[in-house]
Amino acid sequence: MSNLDGVAYQAVPEGVVQAALRVSRRRGVPVADVPIIAVAEEAGLSRSTLMRRLGGSRRALDEAVRAAGVDPGGQKSVRERAVEAAAGLISEHGLVAVTLERVADDAQCSVHSLYAVFGGRDGLLRAVYERYSPILDVEAVLAVPREALPETVRAIYRLLVDALSREPRVLPAMLADVLSRPDDPAVQSIYQHAFSRIIEGVGQWLTSEVAAGRIRDFHPLLLVQQMIGPLLAYFVMRPAAAHLSGAALPTSAEAVEVFAQNFLKAVARSSASGTT
């Protein structure tokens, strides 16, 4: 056991220290700015196991890194640390794991600070979704003068793929919660604030495309589901499929092109499809 400012800390395994240093070098950020979930993954541990080995404190890891001769660096703001901590919890355990107490522990702040910054758990979850979902980028694409229909479809697909594929896997975890626990209050809050926002935004754009005569006149929700549903299903299941398939999976770019072509063939009027 070590003692920091009168508080006893558990000795940190050397393998965990080296894992933190490797992730820090790879990301080009100080150790103190590496999310605890990233250290756990590098060390081959679950987040909960790593926290037990750290004696329940992130500070123990930073002090062990300092003892190894490396300055762990400064900390980000409470908002930044909390959003990253919550994202790691969602990616590993789903929305149910995100309590303000656990986030405060990982982010090295107080629960009172989280209330001051976010107003509560719902505000924190909304901040996580806005950071790790494509909602802001999609809204930006749709806010500028439109490109041709096929290019806009492909641009939205690329943003969705990026959000579905990057770590921590926040968007797939949230989608899983929406499907498995649709009546949960936390899920309802995220859906009403976030998922509905992107569905409405894309739906309004598709409605304008209908009015312009570029796509067929279907119900906006059906158009949104036909556009986004197949792509979401494929990329959410892709990590598991990579271990099951005997043949190499198509690249993300190839998959985007296939889904874009299929959607355009299904709904676009011939003059606007841009398909080959």
Q: Which residues fall within 8 angstroms of residue 191, CB to CB, at 6 or more apart? A: 178, 182
Nearest to 261 by CA among 253, 207, 219: 253
Cα–Cα dist 242/223, whole Å: 29
Whole-number percent of the chain with pLDDT over 90 = 38
Q: Could you give phi then psi for residue 21, rounded to 5 degrees?
A: -65, -40
Half-sphere exposure (CA, 13 Å, Cβ side) for 125? 26
209 pLDDT above the threshold of 90: yes
- What does the pLDDT read at residue 268? 93
106 pLDDT above the threshold of 50: yes
What domains are there in the chain, each with its CATH number? 2-119 (no CATH), 133-273 (1.10.357.10)
pLDDT band (50, 70, 90) for residue 242: confident
Cα–Cα dist 249/238, whole Å: 8
9 in helix, strand or coil?
A: strand
Whole-model pTM: value is 0.67
Chain segment 57-104, per-residue pLDDT in tens = 788 888 888 888 888 876 677 888 899 999 999 988 888 889 999 999
DSSP-assigned letters across all residues of 16-71: HHHHHHHHHHHHTS-GGGS-HHHHHHHHT--HHHHHHHTTT-HHHHHHHHHHTT--
Q: Which span out of 27-31, 43-47, 252-256 was modeled with the highest average pLDDT?
A: 252-256
Nearest to 74 by CA among 89, 90, 92, 62: 62
5 pLDDT above the threshold of 70: no
Q: Which position has the token pair 């119900």?
A: 219
For 154, other C-beta atoms within 10 Å of its C-beta total 20
Mean pLDDT estimate for the chain: 85
